[in-house]
Amino acid sequence: MEIKSEWKKLAVIVGVFLLCFYLPVGWRRFDNAVLEAFHLVKWYAREHVLLCLVPAFFIAGAISIFASQQSVMKYLGPRANKILAYGVASVSGTVLAVCSCTVLPLFAGIWKMGAGLGPATAFLYSGPAINVLAIILTARILGVEMGIARAVGAISFSVIIGLLMHFIYRKEEFEKANAQMAMPEPEVKRPLWQNGLFFAAMVAILVFANWGRPNETAGKTWTAIWLHKWMITAALAAGLGAILILWFNVRWWKIAVSAVPVIALAVALPMDGMGVMIPFAAGAIGLAWATGSSEGEGSEWFSSTWMFTKQILPLLLAGVLLSGLFLGRPGQEGLIPNRWVEWAVGGNSVWSNFLAAVVGAFMYFATLTEVPILQGLMGSGMGKGPALALLLAGPALSLPSMLVLRSVMGTQKTVVYCSLVVVMATISGIIYGTFF
């Protein structure tokens, strides 16, 4: 056994040496792909980690500590009413305008709390896919029928994929349901409405902090919300602080100390561009300190949040780096030339739809960016069927999210879930391309 182990080590050393020896440094495409990888990971770190992932990590940690396991099982567990469970999971994207990576901590939180595999994967797909703003933008830019097809496909996908995952792993889900029946009733520390307001405040902070600038044709309400989104976010943060003091036994002076640098920085810095990141980061650090230094639930919340952060963030950043290396940023090229993709996804063949779904599944799309990218691809000859296939697979999956999913629910379930998304996106693209 020791000799075999040493041979494996030697093989790894030789492989790394050969990789270094033949590294194509100086080849223009390779050098550009490396730069694209770092450009993408820099953009991701600036645009998504602080405003999207950090709130999502806190929400995921709160779910695992404060959400009643009985409540999660009642609405999303293996023995929950199927219509209710899949109904709740399938429309979650209308509230959470998040990307395929931001939804991962939330999925990990409800999965850890005992949600059934079917409803949990329905939530996992619907979170980034059923985005009201993205669907409206799709209809306005790519056509009404494309917007309707995306909405119908996304909602039905989430339910069908969830049901298929439940059916494939029905034996495991049956054993999980039986084990949950034997669990004792959890002790309720506060009324449901208090926990509800607590989670609503955090979700609202996530939503409004990431409220995108509306286009010129948007209504006055959307524009007004965007203009005042940081005032709304600040008010929600103050409400969250009051909730922590009144109902979660966090000392008032810790919340006050945490708020002082946030207010000072918000007043001193321009609240646009990168200027908003500093006070937001100060708020996240303050919340981490206020909860982590508290006793009981506060400390448990911070520990759970930190656990999700350690598990998910490194894999996400590594995945974004690889995605940038192979596919580049939107409008730029990585190792794989864009013309290959454009050539392969023309028409409405099974191959073009399948390839569009696969490319969409591996490529990282930030929320709403998939529409202008598709507009450019369709202008280069991409068929309508492959366009829909990419729309249904792209926002819900990405290489970074696959790496994280593998660490959360295992290799086999991740492969099955990703395969279902790709296959169903392909079939939908073929059907849509045939009629339109």
Summarize pLDDT for 270-293 with one digit per residue, the tens.
877 778 889 999 999 999 999 999
d(CA 403, CA 13): 24
Determine contact, residues 288/313, Cβ cutoff 8 Å.
no
Instruction: Specify the 3-state DSSP secondary structure of 339.
Output: helix
pLDDT of residue 254: 94
Q: pTM of the prediction?
A: 0.74
pLDDT of residue 98: 60
d(CA 421, CA 158): 9
pLDDT of residue 413: 93
Closest of 342, 397, 351 to residue 373, by C-alpha: 342
In one-letter notation, the amino acid at residue 326 is F
Determine contact, residues 72/114, Cβ cutoff 8 Å.
yes
pLDDT of residue 72: 66
> Model confidence over 62-84: pLDDT tens digits?
877 887 666 666 667 676 777 77
Percent of the chain exceeding pLDDT 90 equals 21
Q: What is the mean pLDDT of residues 395-406?
A: 85
Residue 319's pLDDT band, with cuts at 50, 70 and 90, is: confident
**Average pLDDT over the chain, rounded to whole?**
82
Residue 265's pLDDT band, with cuts at 50, 70 and 90, is: very high
Tokens representing 70? 């009985």
Percent of the chain exceeding pLDDT 70 equals 86
Least confident of 24-38, 87-101, 125-139: 87-101
User: Is pLDDT above 90 for 195?
Assistant: no
Q: What is the mean pLDDT of residues 249-277?
A: 89
Could you tell me which residues come within 8 angstroms of residue 423 by beta carbon, excluding any fewer than 6 positions away? Answer: 357
Determine contact, residues 382/394, Cβ cutoff 8 Å.
no
Instruction: Specify the 3-state DSSP secondary structure of 346.
Output: strand
Closest of 35, 69, 100, 155 to residue 428, by C-alpha: 155
Q: What is the mean pLDDT of residues 304-326?
A: 82
Closest of 102, 112, 8, 101 to residue 61, by C-alpha: 112
Could you tell me which residues come within 8 angstroms of residue 93 by beta carbon, excluding any fewer than 6 positions away? Answer: 126, 127, 128, 129, 130, 131, 132, 154, 158
Report angle CA 301, 305, 308 to the nearest 5 degrees: 145
Residue 164's pLDDT band, with cuts at 50, 70 and 90, is: very high
Determine contact, residues 362/399, Cβ cutoff 8 Å.
yes
Pairwise pLDDT comparison (304 vs 141), residue with the higher score: 304
Q: Distance from CA of residue 256 to its chain's centroid?
A: 32
User: Is pLDDT above 90 for 126?
Assistant: no
Q: In the chain, what are the helix, strand and coil shares in percent, each to the nearest 5?
A: 80, 0, 20
